[in-house]
Amino acid sequence: SAWLGVMGGGQLGRMFAHAAQAMGFKVAVLEPGQDCPAGQVAERLIPGAYTDQSALAELAAQCVAITTEFENVPAGSMAWLGERSFVAPSATCVSIAQDRIAEKRFFVDCAPTSGVMPAPHKTIASHADIDAIDDDLLPGILKTVRMGYDGKGQVRVRSREDVRAAFDAMSGVTCLLEKMLPLAYEVSVLTARGADGASVVYPIAENVHRDGILFTTTVPGPNVSDACAKQAQDAARAIVDQLGYVGVLCIEFFVLIDGTLVVNEMAPRPHNSGHYTMDACITSQFAQQVRAMARLPLGEVRQHSPAVMLNILGDVWFEGNSDTPREPAWDRVLALPGANLHLYGKDDPRRARKMGHVTFVAPTLATAQASLLKACAILGIPA
């Protein structure tokens, strides 16, 4: 059978491997770390840095197509692989999504067709840039241009002095200052596009974050109007088309208090807010990634059941201030109506670490939400 390759061995790679194997592929994972979630299930683990030429050469020689599950994979490595195998998404698309300046510029370029703009922003690369900040950008959020995730590498700033202190504390790496916007709620749109240019757009998902980390995803979102859903889905389609993207891509949006839709960022891979598709849609985001990279027809994105996804962080292994982990009561969670538990095979729970997720699917959203509340109570998560 044919081999598919993935750069990165985290939980996204693990769930990708499961989907690929279900369709008869073998999976090779390139990952620098030891004992990774995807390495436990892949047919082959190629240990090595993301820039290790011999590891990359082995991956390219083995695989008919290669993708990434790690947002910050070196774009140069994707380009190198792309000369030797079919790579999706492309190095160019990955490099835009990795760099907040390039990403914002791209969103602005897309605005005539997407109809949405990113938050007002300015590149901060020097103290002179800070002196030149327009008052209208404050209060704001200073974000590192590269490598940020789960709200890491972000500081909220009220004044020019705050920006200076935050910029200096990030030891002078290039940052982006974004105006703090009055959010009503957050949504994301998962899309997939094939090498033939065909694209699909999943139902819009409503996301709640806690401490910068995704907490729940609800689909259909209780706050999302039909008009907002259509606007976000149309924008997402325009963005993937203009990118010439191949594979699964997730785009995050803000909905402001006045109803304005603002595009925030995109992830060039399956996304945490798309995990609900595994249990609630005809084709999961991981099966869709397999189809796109193997140049097979894209699958139907129709959602067959309302769904609520709850992220399971390492915190639920720890009672109160205890630092001795104990296994959560999965039996009680699994007894709830519509529960589907996904754990990522990580043996060392740590607070704020993504260990798994549970999706509740039910004939009505209210039933799924009732199960969510019970699960939070069982797991000791403040609802």
Q: Which residues bind Mg ion (CB under 5 A)?
A: 252, 265
How long a stretch of residues is the chain?
383
168 binds ligand ATP (CB under 6 A): no
* Cβ at position 149, least distance to Mg ion in Å: 5
181 binds ligand ATP (CB under 6 A): yes
Question: Is 265 annotated as belonging to a binding site?
Answer: yes
127 binds ligand ATP (CB under 6 A): no
* Cβ at position 150, least distance to ligand ATP in Å: 4
251 binds ligand ATP (CB under 6 A): no
Two structure tokens written together for 269: 């891979």
Q: Which range of residues in 87-95, 180-188, 233-241, 323-331 is near ligand ATP by CB under 6 A? A: 180-188
Decide: 119 and 107 in contact? Cβ < 8 Å.
no
Say how far apart CA 95 and CA 105 lie, in whole Å. Answer: 13
117 binds ligand ATP (CB under 6 A): no
Question: Is 186 annotated as belonging to a binding site?
Answer: yes
Two structure tokens written together for 367: 């039933």
From the list Mg ion, ligand ATP, none, partner contacted by residue 297 (C-beta under 5 to 8 A by kind): none
Q: According to the 3-state scheme, what is the secondary structure of 154-183? A: EEEECCHHHHHHHHHHCCCCCEEEEECCCE
Decide: 16 and 286 in contact? Cβ < 8 Å.
yes
Choose between 265 and 279: whose C-beta lies nearer to Mg ion. Answer: 265
209 binds ligand ATP (CB under 6 A): yes
Q: Residue 319 — φ and ψ, nearest 5°?
A: -90, 125
Q: 39, 74, 148, 221: which one contacts ligand ATP (CB under 6 A)?
A: 148
Say how far apart CA 188 and CA 171 lie, in whole Å. Answer: 32
Say how far apart CA 7 and CA 13 lie, in whole Å. Answer: 8
Two structure tokens written together for 131: 């002196």
Choose between 57 and 101: whose C-beta lies nearer to Mg ion. Answer: 101
* Cβ at position 217, least distance to ligand ATP in Å: 12
Position of tokens 């409503």? 206
Question: Is 180 annotated as belonging to a binding site?
Answer: yes
264 binds ligand ATP (CB under 6 A): yes
Looking only at the bridges linking them, the beta strands covering 44-47 and 26-31 are parallel
125 binds ligand ATP (CB under 6 A): no
Q: 31, 103, 206, 265: which one contacts ligand ATP (CB under 6 A)?
A: 265
45 binds ligand ATP (CB under 6 A): no
Decide: 283 and 342 in contact? Cβ < 8 Å.
no
- Using DSSP, state whether 238 is helix, strand or coil: helix
Choose between 181 and 378: whose C-beta lies nearer to ligand ATP. Answer: 181
99 binds ligand ATP (CB under 6 A): no
Identify the CA nearest to 86 among candidates 125, 124, 60: 60
Q: Which range of residues in 43-51, 128-136, 142-150, 274-282 is near ligand ATP by CB under 6 A? A: 142-150
Choose between 31 and 265: whose C-beta lies nearer to Mg ion. Answer: 265
The alpha carbon of 312 is separated from its chain's Cα centroid by a whole number of angstroms, namely: 15
Choose between 178 and 265: whose C-beta lies nearer to Mg ion. Answer: 265
**DSSP tag of 92:** H
Position of tokens 């995050």? 252
186 binds ligand ATP (CB under 6 A): yes
From the list ligand ATP, Mg ion, none, partner contacted by residue 352 (C-beta under 5 to 8 A by kind): none
141 binds ligand ATP (CB under 6 A): yes
From edge to edge, which strands make up the β-sheet containing 175-179?
Answer: 121-124, 175-179, 140-144, 154-157
Q: Taking the chain, what is the end-to-end CA distance rounded to the nearest angstrom? A: 46
**DSSP tag of 117:** B
Binding site, annotated residues? 100, 143, 148-154, 178-181, 186, 209, 264-265
Binding site for ligand ATP (CB under 6 A): 119, 141, 148-152, 178-181, 183, 186, 209, 212, 252, 264-265
